Amino acid sequence: MFRILKGIARWLMIWLYFVSLICFIGATLGVLSHVCFGFFFVDTPDYAYLADLGLLHGLKYSSLWAGGLAIVLCVMRAHREFQKAHRANIG
């Protein structure tokens, strides 16, 4: 029973890591894109406002995809671990 709970906790932590990483990347890209577009296309940009707006947009849109993408990444990682263990048992 403890082994099962340990496995569930491990995969939950890996999933949360992937979700956090995806949200961080989305927020960073949102800030950078809004500030760059403001620099190129606005006459007198307010960089603090653009950075805040970029953080909000980047975090909102990346969090929409983060959960599902994190599940896919966890399945890919589990498959890789299974294949590695399976090869070790055969050879």
* 12-42 pLDDT, tens digit each: 999 999 999 999 999 999 999 999 999 999 9
AA letter at 88: A
To the nearest whole percent, how much of the chain has pLDDT over 70?
A: 99
pLDDT at 89: 86
Element (H, E) at 36: helix 2-41
Per-residue model confidence (pLDDT) at position 90: 83
For the segment 52-73, the average pLDDT, to the nearest whole number, is 96
Structure tokens given for 72: 């896919």
The two three-digit tokens of residue 19, written as one number:
């979700």
Q: Pull the structure tokens for residue 74.
A: 């966890």
Q: Are 15 and 74 in contact (CB under 8 A)?
A: yes
Is the whole model's pTM more than 0.75, yes or no? yes
